[in-house]
Structure 1
Amino acid sequence: MTVHAMTAKDVTKKVINKESLFILDVRNEADFKDWKIEGENFDYLNIPYFDLLDGVEEILDRIPTDKEVLVVCAKEGSSIMIADMLSEVGRTVSYLEGGMKTWSEYLEPIKVGELTGGGELYQFVRIGKGCLSYMVVSEGEAAIIDSTRMTDVYLNFAKEIGAKITHVFDTHLHADHISGGRKIAEATGAAYWLPPKDAEEVTFEYSALEDGNEVKIGHTTINIHALYSPGHTIGSTSFIVDEKFLLSGDILFIDSIGRPDLAGKAEDWVGDLRESLYKRYKELSNDLMVLPAHFMIIDELNEDGSVAKKLGTLFAENHGLNIEDEDEFRKLVTENLPPQPNAYQEIRETNMGKITPDDDKQREMEIGPNRCAVR
């Protein structure tokens, strides 16, 4: 029997469509517990591949015959070997092409809205890492917000839709993933915008992103309005796009709120976080569609795979927006924090331009789930 490769795009479609899939993950137990492919109707078996070197017969009764089976490992090689062994004993299985390395880097573009005068807003869902980035398009011009280091995806997408990238923004200095902002700006001649309060240590030129900045895209009325909203970082800045969408960066998520400690400043910044969420955001229209820079759990995906909800709905349903007692809020934000992201200090230094790791090192720095939210 031939063993087939399943691509990250194929698996992403199964996640979005809530299809069933049985995953045999042959990485070691610690890696599997830390981070795995998540799907609402996925089942899992984790057996390290070195436990299967003598054969797969002992696990056959644990692998269903009535479901699609996908073998997963870190980089692909081990999963091909185990998939071949299962195929030799008569099982139909696939392996994940490129392994978890590729899963971490895959971006699915999804159109999330129409803009005034015929523009569009696209969300790029990094399904394996929980990162969300955006492209605002109007009259042949495009702006990119919170891009990942997989810059070719944005460049190729813009080319496909016939748009020239003229502006690139980061809502803040990221600590959980490497930004592709500077690289895209260099490749396209676009302006690269960064909040100056997050950029005190950067080693490169940038356009200062400050409260009240208005950036127009195309010759239409599309505008990107910057709203200073510190708390996750001291420079964190949100965007209101076309008076319809609120790009909240890492301040507000669908199911949680941002953590203020990735620069070791949890106690210092918790007051800023509360003010941004409970005062600045309270003054905005409840009809704004919130588009965050991350999602935490697969349940936050809408039916089309996008991550978005109205601000009014979040004020009603998101626990982090409904803590009246300031001490209780402080406690939640400073004491209920998940572990720091993998290599977060090195990621910050890369995003400042202080270090320039090679591609393999960058990939290694980013491996694992995102951890930008309060639990």
Structure 2
Amino acid sequence: MAEEQAVKTISVKELTRKILDHEKVFILDARNTDDFDDWKIEGENVEVINAPYFDLLDGVESIVDKMPKEQNIYVVCAKGGSSEFVAEQLVEAGFPNAFSVEGGMKSWSEHLEPIKVGDLTGGGAIYQFVRIGKGCLSYLVESNGSCALIDTNRMLEPYEEFIKEHQLKLTHTLDTHLHADHISGGRKLAENHGAKYYLPPKDADEVQFEYNHVHDGDEYKIGDKTIKAIYSPGHTIGSTSYIVDNQYLLTGDILFIDSIGRPDLAGKAEDWVADLRETLYKRYKELADDLIVLPTHFMTHHEMNADGSVSEKLGVLFKENHGLNIESEEEFRKTVSENLPPQPNSHQEIRETNMGKITPEEEQQREMEIGPNRCAVR
């Protein structure tokens, strides 16, 4: 008797590349509908439908008419187990092109895809690590064999692999602010490499570990290039932007491509509205229009460039981003403090983890981060 053939699988890295390369992708999401409605795989050419696993235990007859015959079907669930069962059911029902997504939405949430944003003057480059399933963006600046990382995610392996592959020496890790939607890996990565970890002190009153302070106007030499800190409060009281090589403006969670940062994640919405407006409407207005804005988050795939990166010139955002064009201070206050989307999952526990107050196990950290980022005003 022939051995039963294993269900075909696809890694989240392979799936990410297909989406970023604008291939047509069909997703069958087998999670509960509430989870699907909260957060799903999306992309320019992605078609996704939801059919809960428990509805398919006795067969897939109810959905066969929705399945494409000539296209691969990528089945995803929470962790990768249920999707194998559903994919096997689809194969038996006459869809040999069904694949199970390895590791499910947990792996999707954690994948980091490095994309080169551009060259620095006279040598060096800046890379954006796109966390496509979470909407997080982190940055590696390299020059003359040295590098710095900004807003590092907790999954360190992709950064470690990149540093090793490019034979770089990590000298600095910097956070733009104390994050509330994802756990920072900056301090741990700095420890691994004997580098220095930096954090704005106004965000660090309750931090339980030693760190290097970031102040307005501070400059950091990375090889032959300079990263300059620009105090830009509003999302948090310590929020700090970084200008790299006088070309790139790393805005943290203050300014996004289609929106602006929310000031309520530390419970200080009313207190920080004026700071947010001051940063966006005065501090940033004084900067060069041709600076390329690189935020720490994106909301949807519509903010992505053709290569999957996320960026836009500051001058363009002042023309096109609604959050930068609210003339009335009262309307601005209402926009950023009322009718906000739900706060990120486990945001208080994530803040406490980033303060060093609690040290959850790795699996718990994964659970804390599951779901979309919600750092923007909608």
* 1:81 aligns to 2:85 (yes or no): yes
Moved more, 11-20 or 139-148: 11-20
Q: CA deviation at 1:42?
A: 1.6
Segments ≥4 residues shifted beyond 4 Å: none
Alignment correspondent of 1:225: 228
What are the within-5 Å matches in structure 2 for residues 241-320 of structure 1?
Answer: 241-320=244-323
**Uncovered stretches (5+) of structure 2, i.e. residues with no partner:** none
Work out whether residues 141 and 163 of structure 1, in 8 Å CA contact, stay in contact via their aligned partners in 2.
yes
CA distance in 1, matches of 2:318, 2:7: 49
Q: CA deviation at 1:11?
A: 1.5
Equivalent position SS for 2:63: helix
Alignment correspondent of 1:19: 23
Alignment correspondent of 2:57: 53
Work out whether residues 112 and 121 of structure 1, in 8 Å CA contact, stay in contact via their aligned partners in 2.
yes
2:193 is matched with which residue: 184, 188, 195? 188
CA distance in 1, matches of 2:70, 2:9: 19
Which amino acid in the other structure matches residue 124 of structure 1?
Answer: F
Alignment correspondent of 1:110: 115
CA distance in 2, matches of 1:336, 1:36: 23
TM-score (norm 2): 0.97
CA distance in 2, matches of 1:13, 1:187: 29
1:124-151 Cα shifts (integer Å, max 9, x gaps)? 0000000000000011110000000001
Which amino acid in the other structure matches residue 20 of structure 2?
Answer: I
Alignment correspondent of 1:323: 326
Moved more, 19-28 or 226-235: 19-28
Equivalent position SS for 1:365: helix
* 1:166 aligns to 2:171 (yes or no): yes
Work out whether residues 16 and 301 of structure 1, in 8 Å CA contact, stay in contact via their aligned partners in 2.
no
Q: CA deviation at 1:67?
A: 2.3
Q: CA deviation at 1:117?
A: 2.3
Identity %: 67
CA distance in 2, matches of 1:11, 1:300: 19
Q: CA deviation at 1:354?
A: 0.3
Moved more, 43-52 or 204-213: 43-52
CA distance in 1, matches of 2:208, 2:6: 52
Alignment correspondent of 1:93: 98
**When the two structures are aligned, how many residues end up with a matched partner?**
373
Which amino acid in the other structure matches residue 251 of structure 1?
Answer: I
Q: What RMSD in Å do the two structures reach over aligned CA positions?
A: 0.9
Q: CA deviation at 1:200?
A: 0.8
CA distance in 1, matches of 2:21, 2:158: 23
* 1:62 aligns to 2:66 (yes or no): yes
Alignment correspondent of 1:142: 147
Equivalent position SS for 1:117: coil
Work out whether residues 174 and 198 of structure 2, in 8 Å CA contact, stay in contact via their aligned partners in 1.
yes
**Uncovered stretches (5+) of structure 1, i.e. residues with no partner:** none
1:163-209 Cα shifts (integer Å, max 9, x gaps)? 01000000000000000011001111111000000011001111100
CA distance in 2, matches of 1:68, 1:294: 30
Alignment correspondent of 1:120: 125
CA distance in 2, matches of 1:291, 1:336: 26
Q: CA deviation at 1:2?
A: 5.1
Equivalent position SS for 1:134: strand
